[in-house]
Amino acid sequence: MLVFFAERLVFLSVPKTGTTAYENALKARADIAVTNPPELKHAPVYRYNRFFRPMFEKACKVEMETLAVMREPISWLGSWYRYRRRPFMQGKPNSTDAVSFDDFVSAYAQGMPPGFADVGSQARFLESRPNGTGVTHLFRYETPERLDAFLEDRLGVRPETRRENVSPVMDLTLSPRTESKLRRKCAAEFALYDSIP
């Protein structure tokens, strides 16, 4: 999470959406850079609302806008799948080394996914709170030029990002049955992504 106080902007860090690259490019420009622990670095809207928003509103008497990046849901799951296939993960309960991508996605779409497929939800991460706190500016991972232009306009600097935490390239084809199941069971993910201009 990056905070740009003068610009009244908080950059929320949705996992597996390339935000580490933006963090590294902009943390020297930020007033606050929350890089650890992961529970705070990747604070979803509900955690931002509970802990960070009151700090800004009560101590600083300001209301901050938020921005976040969302990745196409199948691509997002593919990134998690590849990340959990790294050699470092072999033998660990969350490893996907012995699981096909199709089986990973099918397990993810269950009501209670097993550990290797329990990677959270972008829609839940970004879900607005009953008090109206939500993401003010939402961008697609697949169109970084829109985010870059927004940041340049808002911060006066265009971020120079490098690819970070790149997982190995591999085939991530889903069977029609599994894709249909995912789209049915996780419809909120696709609806939110499709709503981003």
Residue-level pLDDT, tens digit, the chain, 197 residues = 999 999 999 999 999 999 999 999 999 999 999 999 999 999 999 999 999 999 999 999 999 999 999 999 999 999 999 999 988 888 898 999 999 999 999 999 998 999 999 999 999 999 999 999 999 999 999 999 999 999 999 999 999 998 776 777 788 999 999 999 999 999 999 999 999 99
The two three-digit tokens of residue 179, written as one number? 């894709």
Burial class (CB in 10 A: 0-12, 13-18, 19+), 38: exposed
- Give the class (CATH, top level) of 2-195: alpha beta
* CB count in 10 Å sphere of residue 55: 11
CA-nearest of 161, 145, 142 to 78 is 142
pLDDT at 162: 82
d(CA 78, CA 84): 10
d(CA 164, CA 62): 33
pLDDT at 87: 87
Distance from the Cα of residue 29 to its chain's centroid: 21
Distances (CA, A) of 64 to 9, 136, 161: 5, 9, 24
d(CA 75, CA 17): 10
Q: At what angle do helices 144-155 and 19-26 cross, to 10 degrees?
A: 30
pLDDT at 141: 97
d(CA 100, CA 117): 11
The two three-digit tokens of residue 171, written as one number? 């085939």
Decide if 155 contacts 7 (C-beta within 8 A). yes
Q: Which helix (H) or strand (E) holds 9?
A: strand 9-11
